[in-house]
Structure 1
Amino acid sequence: MPASLPAAQPEEPSADVVVGADGLARPRWAATDPLLRSYYDTEWGLPVRDERGLFERLSLEAFQSGLSWATILRKRPAFRAAFADFDPDTVAGFGDADVERLLADAGIVRNRAKILATIGNAGATVALREDGGLPALVWSFRPDVTPQPRTIAEIPTTSPESRALSAALRARGFRFVGPTTMFALMEAVGIVDTHLVDSHRRGSSGVWS
């Protein structure tokens, strides 16, 4: 009789995953900073399907361009105060005085182009209600499959769907909505699941089994 084949050995956890003192596995970026860890555990990747919530996350992803997400997350309370809790109707009505107020607000990222884009995007969000609304448009680009990364290097930064979403939003007057920014948005609001397969959050959104 042929010798028995050796039993398959389980794969070692990715080096990009850190098991915390609580016994939960997280990616390295969410393993040490308490704010990032809380955001990862309770918010990132969970479905966001309401207009205000999506407008806020779209706006914050735009402000994050060129900066770290930790910087944006620490400034989020100030962003919410400065932008009327990201109510699209209110932000769409901001005028020159509001722009100057925002440029003088040290609590947020004082970038004129991004501030103007956020105000313009609020108007585009309001206008989009006549065509189904922002949530319907954004979620219509959910792919048929989601990545299954074991390492950070395996996580894509764009996808055909994020490029298509970017083009669709630009056609409707949105700015700072490039394919990379839109892929980050899709990750953040649960449209794709890029939690590492060894993470305790993998599959927790309910969108992907």
Structure 2
Amino acid sequence: MKKHRCGWCEGDDLYEAYHDQEWGVPVYDDDTLFEFLILETFQAGLSWITILRKRENFRAAFDNFDYKKIANYKQDKIDTLLLDAGIIRNKLKVNATVTNAQNFMKIQEEFGSFSKYIWEFVNGKPIKNNLKNYKNAPATTNISDALSKDLKKRGFKFVGPTVVYAHMQATGMVNDHEAECFRYKEV
């Protein structure tokens, strides 16, 4: 019997694997939260499948998403990234990644971890929605608006409410799997 999946991922093996193994699983690890933050930043204005297909290129280009290294990138490294055809070569997004890494560490210093900071916006536990169809998922919520505003106040770039809500979905802060999806109850 075929598993019922959220409609957005069906028909592409990479999308289905991401959906089945990662999307919506609560993430409390700062390294993984930062990886998703980078990927969501680059996804702004593009499709998620485009980013997934380039994920390993991003991993190689950005030192395995090591925010401590990224925070210290100099102009020569940024110039090299802008020549890398394996990633999205957007100067504003590359520069934002460096800035966001620096601000990520400031949040860690203030709160003990980025995870503690971000999960407070949902009182430490995932919000479980009850969607019949993925198309009914909101693009933003009051929580993503508040989180976006706070991140921007802290100097983050490319963290509008839609990007932030996508990050919340990806990292399991909100469960937007369709109620009939086999992953809905699992996560």
Does the TM-score normalized on the shorter chain lie above 0.5? Answer: yes
- Give the corresponding residue for 1:175: 157
Which of 173, 179, 182 pairs up with 1:191?
173
Shift of 1:63: 0.3
Which of 108, 116, 119 pairs up with 1:136?
116
Instruction: Normalising by structure 2, report the TM-score.
Output: 0.94
Q: Which has the higher contact order (CA 8 A, sep 6+)?
A: 2
Shift of 1:65: 0.8
Q: How many residues align?
A: 184
Whole-angstrom distance in 1 between the partners of 2:151 and 2:128: 22
Shift of 1:188: 0.4
Instruction: Normalising by structure 1, report the TM-score.
Output: 0.85
- Give the corresponding residue for 1:39: 18
- Mapped pair 1:93 → 2:75: no
- Percent identity of equivalent pairs: 41
Q: Counterparts in 2 of 1:75-114, with a 5 A limit?
A: 75-114=54-93
Aligned 8 A contact 1:102 1:115 in 2: yes
Structure 2: stretches of 5+ with no match in the other structure: none
Mean Cα deviation higher: 127-136 or 190-199: 127-136
Which of 146, 152, 156 pairs up with 2:134?
152
Shift of 1:156: 0.8
Shift of 1:29: 2.0
Structure 1: stretches of 5+ with no match in the other structure: 1-21
Normalized per residue, the structure richer in helix is 2
> In the alignment, residue 29 of structure 1 is paired with which amino acid?
W
Whole-angstrom distance in 2 between the partners of 1:91 and 1:121: 9
List structure 1 runs of 4+ shifted beyond 6 angstroms: none
Which of 59, 73, 86 pairs up with 2:52?
73
